[in-house]
Amino acid sequence: MFEIGRICMKIAGRDAGKKCVIIDVFDQHYVLIDGQTRRRKCNINHLEPLNQLVQISKNALVPEVIRVLKEISIEVEEKKPKAKATAAKVKAEKPKRAHKKKEKPVKEAKAKPSRDSKKKVEKPAEKKADGAAEKKE
């Protein structure tokens, strides 16, 4: 029943209610359709076969499908191929930023102070005593 050239009505999905023609049979569950619908693989459970049958070659190109469907008075919109980059949609290319490498600070080797070079630190108690003594004088 679902053979190449069979006119069908799509009953499920986004293209429901639109007519199509079978242009290839994959297996007992899936066919390739084209016509008022999008050209795509379709489950036969989503198709209602009609009584019309047309002569069309396997994997027919879109212009041939349109010609055959117009002969049996089914109006089909000609699908325009999508342009990959149209002038209206092209965004200005931004120049790539050059990543600046962060310079790591060079750690200088610190010379460890020797024990002899350490300054003697006065104890805070001694400072207070000296400061108090200076005030009194």
Looking only at Cα atoms, what is the longest distance across the chain?
127
pLDDT tens per residue, range 14-40: 999 999 999 999 999 999 999 999 999
Whether the model clears a pTM of 0.75, i.e. scores above it, the answer is no
Is residue 76 a part of any domain in this protein? no
* pLDDT value at 137 more than 60: no
- List of residues 6+ apart from 12 with CB closer than 8 A: 45, 46
Mean pLDDT of the chain: 80
Our count of domains for the chain comes to 1
Average pLDDT over every residue of 113-128? 59
Hey, what amino acid is at 76? V
Is residue 66 a part of any domain in this protein? yes
Q: Is the dihedral of CA 40, 42, 48, 54 positive or negative?
A: positive
Is residue 39 a part of any domain in this protein? yes
- How far apart are alpha carbons 43 and 134 in whole angstroms? 106
Which is more confident, 98 or 42?
A: 42
Which is more confident, 110 or 133?
A: 110
Domain span at 15: 6-71
- List of residues 6+ apart from 30 with CB closer than 8 A: 41, 42, 43, 44
Which is more confident, 118 or 107?
A: 107
Domain of 62: which CATH number?
A: 2.30.30.30
Is residue 13 a part of any domain in this protein? yes
